[in-house]
Homo-oligomer: A and B are copies of this chain.
Amino acid sequence: MKNLLVAQSGGPTAAINATLAGIIEAAVWSDKVDRIFGADYGIQGVLEEKFIDLTKIGSNEKILDQLSTTPSAALGSCRYKLKDPKDDPSEFQKIIDIFHRFSIAYFVYIGGNDSMDTVWKLSAYMKAHGVNDITVVGAPKTIDNDLYGIDHCPGFGSAAKYIATSCAELEREIQVYDTPYVIIVEMMGRNAGWLTAAAALAEGRNGGVPYLIYLEERPFSIDRMIGDIREKLETNQGIIVAVSEGIHDENGTFISEFGTQHQYLDAFGHSITSGAGKVLEEAVKERIGCKVRSIELNLLQRCAGHLLSATDIEESRKLGSNAVKIALRGGAGRMSSLKREPGEEYSVIYTETPITEVANREKKVPQKWINDAGNGVTKEMIDYLLPLIQGEERCRYEDGVPKYVILKNYAKTGKMS
Contact = CB atoms under 8 A, between A and B. Distances in A.
A282 interface: yes
A394 B178 CA distance: 28
Interface in A160-184: 161, 164-166, 168-170, 172-173, 175-178, 183
A190 to B, nearest CB: 15
A76 B178 contact: yes
Nearest to A17: B172
A263 B263 CA distance: 12
A293 B300 CA distance: 12
A17 B35 CA distance: 54
A263 B266 contact: no
Nearest to A183: B299
A201 B299 contact: no
A170 B401 contact: no
A316 to B, nearest CB: 16
Contacts of A79: 177
Contacts of A303: 169-170, 172-173
A398 B397 CA distance: 24
A401 B205 contact: yes
Contacts of A306: 165, 169, 307
B78 A172 contact: no
B265 A263 contact: no
Contact of A70 (B172, B260, B390): B172
Interface residues of A, number: 81
A401 B72 contact: no
Nearest to A164: B401
Interface stretch (A20-28, A114-122, A131-139, A404-412): A404-412
Interface stretch (A105-113, A272-280, A321-329): A272-280
Query: Of A72, A295, A408, which is in contact with the most chain B CB atoms at under 10 Å from its CB?
Result: A72
Interface string A39-65: 011001000000000000000000000
Contact of A259 (B70, B265, B305): B265
B78 A169 contact: no
A261 B264 CA distance: 9
A41 B279 CA distance: 31
B300 A169 contact: yes
A389 interface: yes
Copies of this protein in the complex: 2
Query: Of A172, A259, A303, A389, which is in contact with the most chain B CB atoms at under 10 Å from its CB?
Result: A172
A317 to B, nearest CB: 18
Contact of A263 (B201, B261, B272, B408): B261
Contact of A309 (B73, B286, B400, B409): B400
Given A261-B263, A400-B201, A404-B168, A282 B268 contact: yes
Query: Of A12, A44, A201, which is in contact with the most chain B CB atoms at under 10 Å from its CB?
Result: A12
Q: Which 4 A-B pairs have the closest CB atoms?
A: A72-B172, A389-B400, A258-B267, A207-B406
Interface of A: 12, 40-41, 44, 70-73, 76-79, 161, 164-166, 168-170, 172-173, 175-178, 183, 201-202, 205-207, 222, 258-268, 270, 272, 274, 278-279, 282-283, 286, 293, 295-296, 298-300, 303-307, 309, 386, 389-392, 394, 397-404, 406, 408-409, 417
10 contacts: A12-B176, A71-B169, A73-B176, A76-B175, A169-B300, A170-B300, A175-B408, A205-B401, A259-B272, A260-B265
Given A296-B296, A296-B298, 16 more contacts: A12-B172, A40-B178, A165-B401, A168-B402, A169-B402, A170-B299, A205-B398, A205-B403, A206-B402, A206-B406, A207-B404, A222-B267, A259-B265, A259-B266, A295-B298, A306-B307
